[in-house]
Structure 1
Amino acid sequence: MASNKSLLLVVVVLGVLMGAVDSTIVILALPTIVTDLHSDLFTMIWIILIYLLEVAVLTTQLGRLGDSYGRARIYNLGFIVFTIGSALCGASPSAYFLIGSRGVQALGASMMQANSGAIISDNFPPNTRGKAFGYTSIGWNVGAILGIVLGGIITTLIGWRYIFYINVPIGIAASILGFKVVKDVNKVKRDIDIYGILLFGSSLALITYGSADIAGEGLALKNEIPLTIGLLLLIPFVIVEQRVKSPLIDFKIFKNRVLTSSLFASFLQSTGYLSTAFLLIMYLQGIRGLSPLNASLLLVPGYVIAGMIGPLAGRLSDKIGSRIPATIGIGLMAFVSFLYSHLLSLTTPLIDIIFISVIGGIGSSLFYPANNSAVMANTPKHAYGSVSGMLRTLSNTGILLSYVISITVASLTVPRYVAFEVFLGTSDLIGGVATKFITGLHSAFLVSVGILAVALVLSAIRGKEIRAQASEGTV
């Protein structure tokens, strides 16, 4: 029993890790891809955006399908789709083929991410769930940032196509293992909320597109209109969800304070802290002139620390609940953004960057498993899939907003195209322009502090959990 659960956890962690890594892995590879495929930056940025957009839109819906048709079935099929998409990405002969292949890859990632939390909740009781989420949280949340590191290393050493090809053998092996060990435990047949899916999907798609375009080109009618329409569509969506028999999002679950606070703490943490990673890469490449490889290596210690502490922190949340470790974790991440906003300069010792990133790694390892465990522990069994999908939707939307914040706020002191080129690693700044850009970065880090402060408050007021269910096995 314990062995089967361990294998199941390996499959889930692999799926979540691969999907999360590929949400950001192309960032440092983008200039190389642009040159190799003879395209331009404003076209190729959609290699990033199509993935974030699709995953943000689809995860809630695919979590809902997992509730009805089997979470394990949707998850395992997602592995196959993701692996096929990865192979297509690596073999892409043109920019538009690569963008389309990223869409296939994102569909598979959405199927896995939407149901991973539900599979954990199906197979692990509440009093051991935090430990399990400690591993899966490493896969998702650390993976999203680790993708930046791997993108720089793989692109520099063996070529950009291998950032996708590396998924293929792993995906094949994990798919075979997944069909053997990941089985459906709870399956609740529910009607499909077609109107809810259309309204919610359209709203998220328009909001995401409008926000991404603002980051690239600034406020303009062509992004203000879709953004406004997307926000307005949330009104009929809420009305429809109150009236249908089997809603896509059952708003009654938000009466649970722990669940509601945990979900929105996750969204704000993703929005505030992922922007820190983007901003730091801009600083290391654009101001300090580091190569993608060297910039990536500086961040490795923080990820290593997070990987080591994550499962232990998850076990701690099993014993004392999520509020204390998650809140301390958010506080440490806010402290990291505060340090960056005051310490980064033209001559900041790089050892300081490593030290601060380690503090961030400790913070993330405390927050993620505790918070994710709190979400699923306070979700009714029949809604595991939809809430797991909602958690991923909020996290992915937060990643996209982090990108928007990074570019928008940092570019207040320099022309937007300069900030955009620095973000993509195609321009190094010197002299007065560099000094001005550092001022913009400081402002963006302070915005991150503010967002994380709100997340900290939500985490602190979530209330105390009780996890008294007896253990049903060990990991």
Structure 2
Amino acid sequence: MNSNNLALLVVILGTLMSAVDATIVILAIPSIAQDLHTNLYIIIWVIITYLLVIAVFTTQLGRLGDIYGRSRFYNLGFVIFTIGSILCGAAPNAISLIAFRGIQGLGAAMMQANSGAIIADIFPPNQRGKAYGYNSIGWNAGATLGIVLGGFITTFLGWRYIFYINVPIGIIAIILGLKYIKDRERRNTKLDIIGMLSLLASLSLISYGAADIAGEGMSLLNIYLISAGLIILLGFILIERRQQFPIIDLKAFKANRVFTYSLFASFLQTTGYLSTAFIIIMYLQGIRGLSPFNASLLLVPGYVLASLVSPFTGRLSDKIGARIPATIGLALMILAIFIYLQLSINTPLYVIIIASTIGGLGSSLFFPANNSAIMANAPRGFYGGASGLSRTLSNIGTLLSYVITISVSSVTVPRYVAFEVFLGTTNLIGGVASSFLTGLKSALYVSLGILSIALVLSALRGKEDRKQLLQVDQSNNQ
């Protein structure tokens, strides 16, 4: 392997680690809550805090990478993520675990903020699809490992080891990263502290309100919290319009239609689809009575297929552009949602395998194609900003995906039932099972609507000429 491929390997390892911790905690939530003697209202922040830190800080850390060196911040992200994982595994109580998840999320944000820019630095536009395809293997393999290992490790070793498994991977990645990831260019820019604080306040209030719905039920308090978060979000957008170096550069959306539509398609895809596995695991555990390990096995085929197909779809996008493969991918994810909407209390379990496989194929078509379209069409010298912007929108979408799912699906059942179901302490039967299934389907309908909008944007993004982009890139380098 040459130095570029070894650098890509390090990026894939970082993606894998981030993906593992995005899924592995879901299956461990019941054990964590019981071992630390806490409830849903508290323990749900183990998921939310990690996603919240990544969503808020990714762009700023990408900007720091532009200024001081992407390799420096990427490798430091590995160190912080690994230390955060050790602390999470040793956490004595729920509050400390939530705090340590924030540290872990900071390391993941540093890696995510600079990963796309590193790939764009070392590969020309007509080869980035292939590179992003391999990087998607890291995500899909990590998601697979997270789901499978989450059930296996929690069942046989204990939940603390779901964090300790990051340590050996992190050590290897740190060593390789220090040796093979090098800076190609730097860019003078500034941080957007006001924007960062307003975004943090907005997403925190929205998340807190939604978590309160899951924990306490619908009330004026959580309605006020969510409303305040949305008002601050509007203020954040107004602030960003006046900042010289904003977190979300609204001017970047005017760069070209392919770049803009690809960004929004990515945001809506993560918002609409990322928590689907969480919904289905709740169905399999809460309604069908499967153990965490057995429930996870039913979702593995989809992730495995996505891991195998992603490099080929990445190469396809290099040849024909992103519009066709990405749009077909979204259509397949919508089809998977339609199948999930047909689930009943007695649906054969092989239907889950079919739907997850279709959704996995859709993901393998969408992610490498759409990511390569974003970076290939990003303005020259804006690779770090484009990577950070893409990850920020996707991470906000991921956070909202879980927030929407948890709040919508728990509204339809009594509070004590929601606690027991989400914590895995009971199986639902009879009318309560039907009620909870209705809640899960309500969340799926929301996902369906969001994905449909993403599909329209993907289809309307326009054609690409990767050969022409390569010529422009080469002429700029001369």
> Does the pair score TM above 0.5?
yes
Partner of 1:35: 34
Q: How does 1:287-436 map to 2 (within 5 A)?
A: 287-342=287-342, 344-436=343-435
Question: Higher mean Cα deviation, 204-213 or 173-182?
Answer: 204-213
Question: Offset of 1:142 from its aligned partner?
Answer: 6.1
Partner of 1:88: 87
Q: How does 1:128-277 map to 2 (within 5 A)?
A: 128-140=127-139, 143-144=142-143, 147-255=146-254, 256-277=256-277
Question: Offset of 1:236 from its aligned partner?
Answer: 4.1
Q: Percent identity?
A: 66
Question: Higher mean Cα deviation, 374-383 or 359-368?
Answer: 374-383
Question: Offset of 1:405 from its aligned partner?
Answer: 2.8
CA contact (8 A) 1:57 1:205 kept: no
CA contact (8 A) 2:210 2:404 kept: no
Question: Offset of 1:222 from its aligned partner?
Answer: 3.5
Question: Higher mean Cα deviation, 370-379 or 421-430?
Answer: 421-430
Q: What SS is found at the alignment partner of 2:424?
A: coil
Against the structure 1 CA distance between its residues 429 and 243, is the aligned structure 2 distance closer, same or farther, given a 3 Å change threshold?
Answer: closer
CA contact (8 A) 1:141 1:368 kept: no
Report the Cα distance in structure 2 between the residues aligned to 1:413 and 1:36, rounded to whole angstroms: 28
Q: What SS is found at the alignment partner of 1:319?
A: helix
CA contact (8 A) 2:57 2:196 kept: no
Against the structure 1 CA distance between its residues 453 and 242, is the aligned structure 2 distance closer, same or farther, given a 3 Å change threshold?
Answer: closer
Report the Cα distance in structure 2 between the residues aligned to 1:95 and 1:239, rounded to whole angstroms: 37
Letter aligned with residue 281 of structure 2: I
- Runs (4+) off by over 4 Å: none
Partner of 1:466: 465
Listed one character per residue, the Cα deviations across residues 349-390 of structure 1 (whole Å, up to 9, x for unaligned) are 112211221111111100010111111112124322232222
Q: What SS is found at the alignment partner of 2:373?
A: helix
Aligned pair 1:452/2:416, yes or no? Answer: no
TM-score (norm 2): 0.93
Partner of 1:279: 279
Against the structure 1 CA distance between its residues 109 and 196, is the aligned structure 2 distance closer, same or farther, given a 3 Å change threshold?
Answer: same
Letter aligned with residue 64 of structure 1: R
Report the Cα distance in structure 2 between the residues aligned to 1:145 and 1:403, rounded to whole angstroms: 18
Question: Offset of 1:37 from its aligned partner?
Answer: 2.2
Q: How does 1:1-40 map to 2 (within 5 A)?
A: 3-40=2-39
Listed one character per residue, the Cα deviations across residues 59-102 of structure 1 (whole Å, up to 9, x for unaligned) are 12211211222111111100000000101111122222212211
Partner of 1:441: 440
CA contact (8 A) 1:67 1:383 kept: no
Listed one character per residue, the Cα deviations across residues 23-74 of structure 1 (whole Å, up to 9, x for unaligned) are 2311111111222223333222221111111111111221121122211111
TM-score (norm 1): 0.93
Against the structure 1 CA distance between its residues 192 and 405, is the aligned structure 2 distance closer, same or farther, given a 3 Å change threshold?
Answer: closer
Against the structure 1 CA distance between its residues 190 and 182, is the aligned structure 2 distance closer, same or farther, given a 3 Å change threshold?
Answer: same
Q: What SS is found at the alignment partner of 2:25?
A: coil
Report the Cα distance in structure 1 between the residues aligned to 2:191 and 2:434, rounded to whole angstroms: 54
Report the Cα distance in structure 2 between the residues aligned to 1:37 and 1:446, rounded to whole angstroms: 34
Question: Offset of 1:416 from its aligned partner?
Answer: 4.2
Against the structure 1 CA distance between its residues 91 and 349, is the aligned structure 2 distance closer, same or farther, given a 3 Å change threshold?
Answer: same
Q: What SS is found at the alignment partner of 1:463?
A: coil
Against the structure 1 CA distance between its residues 253 and 269, is the aligned structure 2 distance closer, same or farther, given a 3 Å change threshold?
Answer: same
CA contact (8 A) 2:213 2:411 kept: no
CA contact (8 A) 2:144 2:300 kept: no
Listed one character per residue, the Cα deviations across residues 292-337 of structure 1 (whole Å, up to 9, x for unaligned) are 0000011111111000001111111011000000000000000000
Gaps of 5+ in 1: none
Against the structure 1 CA distance between its residues 11 and 340, is the aligned structure 2 distance closer, same or farther, given a 3 Å change threshold?
Answer: same
Partner of 2:99: 100
Question: Offset of 1:13 from its aligned partner?
Answer: 0.8
Against the structure 1 CA distance between its residues 233 and 432, is the aligned structure 2 distance closer, same or farther, given a 3 Å change threshold?
Answer: closer
